């Protein structure tokens, strides 16, 4: 159904030669006979959204933070959402358990260990400093803990990872500007800025000045748009903020002129299917626009967003779209190559990772079970 878009730069991943089986969630590539895992980059991942109930309860006990319940099943039972805001309410309510550099280290370490098993070679990880600073945590502790985990993830798992600082759009533009000013002393610890939290009512244009300031610091620019907000949010993110990547962007499909632009400029869209279902942005996974996005030649890649809350990590997203949308190995290889093309790593690394996708699709995997 899909082909790689014409005119795409760089090497073109080979189409698969045979059927492959996506590994069971959590299965790691190994030389012990386990199925190989599709290599990919994860570009839309909120580190705060990887806070699994087990770690939540452990950190709450360690830091003397009261939770409404410490029963894991009950906690998981609360992970039912009606929209983005209903999720954000719970997500923010859980975050006071993160207090120390060690807590942030453990959070990111757990994610990177899980991501390595899922085939992630490159992770560009969002963090929300405003939430932690409001909870009384010094930005230095947040940055030090996360950065130490990233260094460890590189040493232990070979994962290349960087941080992207997100502004909470519902706190407004002045707060975003203050946050950037507070973060600039830690400039070498993050590669870009993003825009997240409640979307509708907080259009990208509000953040024009702070994005311009970030651009002047040679920071990469990304923004959530077109998750709950309409196509006009995507236009603004591109034209007013200069966003290089759009996070979600699925509502862009409602505007044919925007689709043409996204295809012509090969602007990456970091789509999060399980998130979209959990937040009822789409009714069912089977109704997701991902296959249409692929068939229109958009540079779309798969991501997990907040995996502890939405039912799975990036490999779970891949398995789900294969199962529910009938995506083939060729589609998955395209998604993986797109993720590498869309990432902010050095070109030589991108080429090396895409060659790994070639190796995967060339028949490294065993025949179907
Ligand atoms: N923060 C964490 N997850 C988010 C999402 N899916 N959309 C907006 N802000 C978020
Ligand atoms: Zn997100």
Dump pLDDT digits (tens) for 68-97: 999 999 999 999 999 999 999 999 999 999
State mean pLDDT over 335-353. 98
pLDDT reading at 131 higher than 80: yes
pLDDT level of residue 367 (50, 70, 90 thresholds): very low
- By most ligand atoms within 8 Å of CB, the mutation choice from 43, 79, 82, 87 for ligand 1 is 87
Please state the atom number of ligand 1 nearest to the C-alpha of residue 48: 2
Inter-residue contact 187 to 215 (CB < 8 Å): no
Active site amino acids: 227
**Mean of all residue pLDDT scores within the chain:** 91
Pick the ligand that lies closest to the CA of residue 43.
2
pLDDT at 33: 63
Ligand 1 pocket, residue 275 CB under 6 Å: yes
pLDDT level of residue 361 (50, 70, 90 thresholds): confident
Continuous H helices in the chain:
53-63, 72-77, 84-94, 101-117, 129-134, 139-157, 173-183, 208-216, 231-239, 256-265, 273-278, 290-295, 307-310, 314-325, 329-342, 347-359
Residue 305 Cα, ligand 2 centroid: separation in angstroms?
5
Ligand 1 pocket, residue 304 CB under 6 Å: no
Nearest CA to ligand 1 atom 1: 197
% pLDDT > 70, the chain? 89
pLDDT reading at 197 higher than 60: yes
Half-sphere CA count of 76, side-chain side, radius 13 A: 11
Name the residue with higher pLDDT: 269 or 35.
Answer: 269
pLDDT reading at 246 higher than 50: yes
pLDDT reading at 344 higher than 80: yes
- Locate 70 and state its tokens: 């410490």
Q: Give the domain ranges of the chain.
A: 43-361
pLDDT at 34: 67
State mean pLDDT over 189-218. 98
Residue 46 Cα, ligand 2 centroid: separation in angstroms?
6
pLDDT at 10: 32
pLDDT at 320: 97
The structure's pTM equals 0.91
Dump pLDDT digits (tens) for 282-306: 999 999 999 999 999 999 999 999 9
pLDDT reading at 12 higher than 60: no
Cα→Cα distances 266→48, 133, 301, 334, 337, Å? 29, 36, 12, 13, 13
pLDDT at 362: 84
pLDDT reading at 160 higher than 80: yes
- Locate 211 and state its tokens: 């994005």
Residue 83 Cα, ligand 1 centroid: separation in angstroms?
11
Give residues whose Cβ lies within 5 Å of ion ligand 2.
Answer: 305
- Cα separation of 238 and 204, whole Å? 9
- By most ligand atoms within 8 Å of CB, the mutation choice from 42, 45, 48, 224 for ligand 1 is 224
With respect to CATH, is domain 43-361 assigned 3.20.20.140?
yes
pLDDT at 32: 55
State mean pLDDT over 179-202. 98
Residue 169 Cα, ligand 1 centroid: separation in angstroms?
10
Inter-residue contact 133 to 182 (CB < 8 Å): yes
């Amino acid at each position: 159904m899909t082909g790689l878009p014409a005119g795409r730069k760089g090497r073109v991943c080979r189409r698969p030669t045979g059927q492959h089986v996506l590994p069971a969630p959590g299965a790691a590539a190994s030389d012990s006979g386990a199925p190989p895992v599709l290599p990919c980059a994860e570009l839309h991942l909120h580190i705060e959204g990887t806070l699994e109930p087990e770690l939540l309860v452990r950190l709450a006990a360690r830091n003397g933070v009261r939770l409404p319940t410490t029963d894991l099943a009950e906690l998981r039972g609360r992970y039912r959402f009606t929209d983005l805001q209903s999720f954000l309410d719970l997500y923010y309510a859980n975050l006071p358990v993160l207090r120390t550099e060690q807590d942030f280290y453990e959070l990111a370490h757990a994610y990177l260990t899980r991501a390595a098993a899922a085939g992630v070679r490159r992770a560009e990880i969002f963090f929300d400093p405003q939430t932690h600073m409001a909870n009384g945590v010094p930005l230095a502790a947040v940055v030090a803990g996360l950065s130490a985990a990233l260094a460890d993830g590189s040493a232990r798992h070979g994962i290349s990872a960087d941080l992207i600082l997100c502004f909470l759009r519902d706190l407004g533009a002045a707060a975003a500007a203050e946050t950037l000013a507070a973060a600039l002393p830690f400039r070498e610890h993050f590669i870009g800025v993003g825009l997240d939290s409640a979307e509708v009512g907080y259009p990208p244009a509000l953040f024009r000045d702070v994005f311009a300031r970030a651009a002047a610091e040679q920071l990469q620019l990304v923004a959530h748009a077109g998750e709950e907000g309409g196509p006009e949010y995507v236009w603004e993110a591109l034209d007013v903020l200069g966003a290089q990547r759009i996070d979600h962007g699925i509502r862009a499909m409602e505007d044919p002129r925007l689709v043409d632009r996204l295809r012509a400029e090969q602007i990456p869209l970091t789509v999060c299917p399980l998130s979209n279902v959990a937040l009822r942005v789409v009714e069912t996974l089977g109704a997701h626009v991902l296959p249409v996005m692929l068939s229109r030649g958009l540079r779309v890649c798969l991501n997990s967003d907040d995996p502890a809350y939405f039912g799975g990590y990036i490999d779970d997203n891949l398995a789900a779209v294969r199962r529910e949308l009938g995506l083939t190995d060729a589609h998955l290889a395209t998604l993986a190559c797109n993720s590498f093309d869309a990432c902010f790593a050095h070109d030589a690394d991108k080429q090396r990772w895409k060659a790994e996708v070639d190796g995967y699709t060339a028949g490294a995997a065993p025949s179907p079970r």
